[in-house]
Chain A
Amino acid sequence: MRLEPVQNPSLARKVLPPAIALAFTVLIASLLAMIAGANPFSVLGLIIKGAFGSKFAMLETLNRATPLIFTGLAVAVAFRARFWNIGAEAQLYAGALMTVLLGTGFLPWPSLALLPAIAFISILAGAALLLIPALLKTRFGVDEVVTTLLFNFIFLLFISMLLEGPLKDPMSMGWPKSARLLPEARLPRIVEGLRLHWGFALAILSALCIWIIQTRSTLGYEMRAVGLNKEAAAFAGIPVNLVLIKTALLSGGLAALAGFSEVAGLKGSLTLDLSPGFGYTGIIVAMLALLNPLGVVLAALFVAGIFVGADSMSRAADVPTYLADIMLATALLLMVLAIMLTRFRVVRD
């Protein structure tokens, strides 16, 4: 057996494999639910209901999707230029750290000035954190997969050290937890009374901006060119290293916004469990979205829905929430396979 590239894929070839991949994901999840001793249809029903079935569930899903949109965009932007940023987790915490440093009294400004300032400096922090691997790659050829991945551990330990030391809230009764943000530094809710903060709107806006940059700007054109064929891009006069560095800055900044939005919009303080792996899940989101920034929004809603729905389902039926992780992992693996099948056909010799 071997693979033959499909020159001009038909619409069916583009749409069918991903649809089949999703169907198989549901099938496998159902089998697992059966093994856990539950009725698969009611489990799936409970997941959907738990994710989208009520106003409360919807808002919960949108809240959960917000950081995933940011990290998903961060990964999508970087991967488009073939810059493998695996460190969105660390960049997220860089943004969260800046939010806490500036939002707990350091800048005594009113909300309207304070929030943009914090957001901006968070972006700078995330960008600066990713600049180091970017420079190591463009200057010395150091593999960014390794450096960005290792930075996650280094930076999380650094945050841990701060939370055990200078950042520790004296009122936290010994928990490694920062002081709470001032009210001016909190992101307000979009509609009073509904548990959804402006971070979600910022995420949607970011996705739109990235989409416009990728399709209309010279920078987006350069990033796609570098990602598709570095050699041809360099030959044509595109400054490849500079484009990679700009890409890294944009990607790091987006990931940092996830940290800003989680701390200022939801949690109000910094703890080590701020992110249950949003940075890594961002990779899944970006891959499911085929690196399309608008697709990232949909993929983030899908992934958040599965998490929120599985939480709610496990309370109702006696099936562990790990089902959500398995569903996401299967969805990703099958989707990667499906994407391959849209571009190649299997030929039997």
Chain B
Amino acid sequence: MGKVEALRLNAITKRFGGLTANDAVSFGVDQGEVVALLGENGAGKTTLMNILFGQYTADSGTVEVFGQALPPGNSRAALDAGVGMVHQHFTLADNLTVQENITLGAEPLFSPRLNRAGARARIAALSEKFHLAVSPDARVGNLSVGERQRVEILKALYRDVRILILDEPTAVLTPQETDALFATLRQATANGLSIIFISHKLHEVMAIADRVVVLRHGKLVGGARTEDTDTQALAAMMMGLEATPPNVAPANPGAALLELEDVSTPDIGSAPGLKSVSLALRAGQIIGLAGVSGNGQAAMADVLGGLRSPATGRIVLGGEVVQRWTPRDAVQSGIARIPEDRHKTGTIADFDLTENAILERYKGVPFSKGGWLNWRKSRGFAEEIIRKYDVRCPGADTPIRLLSGGNMQKLILGRVLEADPQVILANQPVRGLDLGAVNYVHGQLLEARGHGAAVLLISEDLDEIMALSDVIHVIAEGRLSPGFVRGEKTPAELGLWMAGQGFDARIPHAS
């Protein structure tokens, strides 16, 4: 294929106040090429794509598509020039059909001369050509996540994109769905499309991209053809230091500290509840709960964390059946809970660090007595967390919303770990954190395991689960797989379980 340059970014610089989000970033994408844009969270990937897409105006620098400069800050022009983007969070209307979603905005929806048959034929042709099988009459609300993504890609293709940007496209997919996506992308590049693939998953980048460019702190720190590099080198470029995957010693599991016995909870809307789940969290062991998001992880975290009681079945804590089960009971029983969403549920944004530090334990000595708070002790506790867990902040009276995600997570870690918990429920503990913070959090979990804590790690990132867990369970539509010890299953085999296969042969019935 000829080397036609489809896209060129020339020395793009963008500042927000004192922060330089993009610092003279330049790179190009050839026609038919997949370029992976790699970088930690906060490295400036999103800002760069927003500039390319005309949502932000760069302070300096230009964007060229097929040699034509795009007018800055004009999304329409970017669309017209053939730039399409599939966002991480899909922009589809649930109550419309696939065909309506695809044609929405591209053609008048309720025109009397609406050419539905023509649109349909075109969608069918595109589906065929790019191996994107979806039924045009299905309601988007009824589709799986993988299918929705196909609709998003079809939507872009229907608008004749020549450059397709995919923002973290595999975050919500099973390994099998990821493979199918990659097949589609290869088909697309064979047809002359150029693709920018934003990710921080190194092995996926190696699998799909022709070339990788790496952003760090807003600067382009390196680039390489994938055949000339490896994951180690890319990680080093991304982090600025050699990545050290956790070196996990064998576990030495002890007694069951917290158990679910045949627990079921009702479905809430489209979120499945638990279906006859039995699980034992043992001292000195990390159990990984793998699964595609929205398959009952929330119900699991809620039940264990005291936010929901089982409809049927029992919770057994240290050998005794639990009667009353609230978040406060859970905390007082020595359960540390690291919530999935640290902004919405983990912290109160306008509270300062002190107020957030005592959020779970303000009731009673040492933080209060007879209904009156002891601010001196509370502040001392917050300062101790700041020191021991290296929370970077101006002081304990800073509103927590001013902290970065990593520092917020460190405060939450300190808050729960300082109570010497017996059980740790870590729900997506490293989501959105940069690699330095990820290693820190993982180190803390492993250390707690070493001290005899039982850890449940809930994550959608299979790499994380496989790296840390002594035993892996897969959750799919609220059903729990048997436990697989470390190394027993390959990612592909776990992927089959995540897709719901394997359960059918042995539907767990209450016996």
- Partner-B contacts on A (CB < 8 A): 7-8, 216-219, 221, 224-225, 228-229, 231-239, 349
Chain B positions 274 through 310: 1 when the CB is less than 8 Å from some CB of chain A, otherwise 0? 0000000000000000000000000000000111000
Query: Of all chain B residues, which has the CB nearest A212?
Result: B372
Is the pair A231, B344 in contact by a Cβ cutoff of 8 Å? yes
Is the pair A233, B372 in contact by a Cβ cutoff of 8 Å? no
The smallest beta-carbon distance between A269 and chain B, in angstroms, is 39
The answer, among A235, A236, A349, for a CB contact under 8 Å with B73, is A349
The answer, among B345, B349, B368, B375, for a CB contact under 8 Å with A235, is B345
Is the pair A237, B360 in contact by a Cβ cutoff of 8 Å? yes
The answer, among A8, A218, A236, for a CB contact under 8 Å with B371, is A218
The smallest beta-carbon distance between A93 and chain B, in angstroms, is 31
Chain B positions 336 through 358: 1 when the CB is less than 8 Å from some CB of chain A, otherwise 0? 01010000111111110001000
CA distance A233 to B307 in the complex (A): 12
B402 within 8 A of A: yes
Is the pair A236, B344 in contact by a Cβ cutoff of 8 Å? no
Some 5 contacts from A to B, beta carbons below 8 A apart, are A217-B373, A225-B351, A232-B345, A232-B347, A237-B327
CA distance A239 to B373 in the complex (A): 17
Cβ–Cβ < 8 Å partners of B371 in chain A: 217-219
The smallest beta-carbon distance between A346 and chain B, in angstroms, is 15
CA distance A268 to B347 in the complex (A): 50
The smallest beta-carbon distance between A173 and chain B, in angstroms, is 52
Given the known A-B contacts A228-B348, A229-B344, A232-B346, are A218 and B368 also in contact in the complex, defined by CB atoms under 8 Å?
A: yes
Is the pair B346, A235 in contact by a Cβ cutoff of 8 Å? yes
Is the pair B345, A231 in contact by a Cβ cutoff of 8 Å? yes
Given the known A-B contacts A218-B368, A228-B348, A228-B351, are A236 and B327 also in contact in the complex, defined by CB atoms under 8 Å?
A: yes
B359 within 8 A of A: yes
- How many B residues are at the interface, by size bracket? 20 to 34
Is the pair A217, B326 in contact by a Cβ cutoff of 8 Å? no
Cβ–Cβ < 8 Å partners of A234 in chain B: 307, 327
Is the pair A235, B327 in contact by a Cβ cutoff of 8 Å? yes
Cβ–Cβ < 8 Å partners of A224 in chain B: 351
Interface centre among A219, A229, A238 (most CB of B within 10 A): A229
Is the pair A229, B327 in contact by a Cβ cutoff of 8 Å? no
B158 within 8 A of A: no
B331 within 8 A of A: yes
Cβ–Cβ < 8 Å partners of B344 in chain A: 229, 231-232
Is the pair B350, A216 in contact by a Cβ cutoff of 8 Å? no
Cβ–Cβ < 8 Å partners of B305 in chain A: 235
Cβ–Cβ < 8 Å partners of A7 in chain B: 402
The smallest beta-carbon distance between B385 and chain A, in angstroms, is 15
Is the pair A229, B372 in contact by a Cβ cutoff of 8 Å? no
Query: Of all chain B residues, which has the CB nearest A233?
Result: B348
Query: Of all chain B residues, which has the CB nearest A225?
Result: B348
Is the pair A217, B372 in contact by a Cβ cutoff of 8 Å? yes
Is the pair B348, A229 in contact by a Cβ cutoff of 8 Å? yes
Query: Of all chain B residues, which has the CB nearest A236?
Result: B359
Interface centre among A229, A232, A234, A236 (most CB of B within 10 A): A236
Chain B positions 134 through 169: 1 when the CB is less than 8 Å from some CB of chain A, otherwise 0? 000000000000000000000000000000000000
CA distance A238 to B372 in the complex (A): 16
Total A-B residue contacts, Cβ distance less than 8 Å: 64
CA distance A228 to B401 in the complex (A): 12
The answer, among B306, B328, B349, B373, for a CB contact under 8 Å with A229, is B349
Cβ–Cβ < 8 Å partners of A217 in chain B: 371-373
B363 within 8 A of A: yes
B362 within 8 A of A: yes
- 4 closest A-B pairs by beta carbon, nearest first, are A237-B328, A237-B327, A236-B359, A235-B345
The smallest beta-carbon distance between A345 and chain B, in angstroms, is 11
Given the known A-B contacts A237-B306, A237-B328, are A218 and B348 also in contact in the complex, defined by CB atoms under 8 Å?
A: no
Extra contacts besides A217-B372, A234-B307 (20): CB < 8 Å: A7-B402, A216-B372, A216-B373, A216-B375, A218-B371, A218-B373, A219-B371, A225-B348, A225-B351, A225-B355, A231-B344, A231-B345, A232-B346, A232-B348, A235-B307, A235-B337, A237-B306, A237-B326, A237-B327, A349-B73
The smallest beta-carbon distance between A209 and chain B, in angstroms, is 13
The smallest beta-carbon distance between B466 and chain A, in angstroms, is 28
CA distance A296 to B337 in the complex (A): 39
Is the pair A228, B363 in contact by a Cβ cutoff of 8 Å? no
The answer, among A228, A235, A236, A237, for a CB contact under 8 Å with B350, is A228
Cβ–Cβ < 8 Å partners of B368 in chain A: 218
The smallest beta-carbon distance between A302 and chain B, in angstroms, is 26
CA distance A216 to B370 in the complex (A): 11
Is the pair B362, A235 in contact by a Cβ cutoff of 8 Å? no
The smallest beta-carbon distance between A19 and chain B, in angstroms, is 23
CA distance A302 to B339 in the complex (A): 45
Cβ–Cβ < 8 Å partners of A225 in chain B: 348, 351, 355, 359
CA distance A217 to B363 in the complex (A): 10
Cβ–Cβ < 8 Å partners of B345 in chain A: 231-232, 235
CA distance A349 to B330 in the complex (A): 49
Chain B residues 365-389 with CB under 8 Å of chain A are: 368, 371-373, 375
CA distance A237 to B364 in the complex (A): 13
The smallest beta-carbon distance between B423 and chain A, in angstroms, is 16
CA distance A7 to B403 in the complex (A): 10
Is the pair B349, A218 in contact by a Cβ cutoff of 8 Å? no
CA distance A225 to B368 in the complex (A): 16
CA distance A163 to B368 in the complex (A): 48
Cβ–Cβ < 8 Å partners of A218 in chain B: 362-363, 368, 371-373
The smallest beta-carbon distance between A11 and chain B, in angstroms, is 16
Cβ–Cβ < 8 Å partners of B330 in chain A: 237
CA distance A225 to B348 in the complex (A): 7
Interface centre among A221, A228, A231, A234 (most CB of B within 10 A): A221
The smallest beta-carbon distance between A318 and chain B, in angstroms, is 49
CA distance A238 to B362 in the complex (A): 10
Is the pair A221, B402 in contact by a Cβ cutoff of 8 Å? no
The smallest beta-carbon distance between A307 and chain B, in angstroms, is 34
Query: Of all chain A residues, which has the CB nearest B327?
Result: A237
Query: Of all chain A residues, which has the CB nearest B328?
Result: A237
Chain B positions 105 through 118: 1 when the CB is less than 8 Å from some CB of chain A, otherwise 0? 00000000000000
Cβ–Cβ < 8 Å partners of A8 in chain B: 402
CA distance A349 to B72 in the complex (A): 12
Cβ–Cβ < 8 Å partners of B331 in chain A: 237
Query: Of all chain A residues, which has the CB nearest B339?
Result: A235
Cβ–Cβ < 8 Å partners of A233 in chain B: 348, 359
Query: Of all chain A residues, which has the CB nearest B346?
Result: A232
CA distance A8 to B349 in the complex (A): 13
CA distance A349 to B345 in the complex (A): 33
Query: Of all chain A residues, which has the CB nearest B378?
Result: A221
CA distance A1 to B307 in the complex (A): 41
CA distance A218 to B360 in the complex (A): 12
Query: Of all chain B residues, which has the CB nearest A5?
Result: B401
Is the pair A236, B402 in contact by a Cβ cutoff of 8 Å? no
Is the pair A221, B360 in contact by a Cβ cutoff of 8 Å? no
Query: Of all chain B residues, which has the CB nearest A222?
Result: B362
Cβ–Cβ < 8 Å partners of B327 in chain A: 234-237
The smallest beta-carbon distance between A218 and chain B, in angstroms, is 5
Is the pair B360, A236 in contact by a Cβ cutoff of 8 Å? yes
Is the pair A228, B349 in contact by a Cβ cutoff of 8 Å? yes
Cβ–Cβ < 8 Å partners of A231 in chain B: 344-345
CA distance A221 to B307 in the complex (A): 21
Query: Of all chain A residues, which has the CB nearest B394?
Result: A8
Query: Of all chain A residues, which has the CB nearest B17?
Result: A7
Interface centre among A229, A235, A238 (most CB of B within 10 A): A235
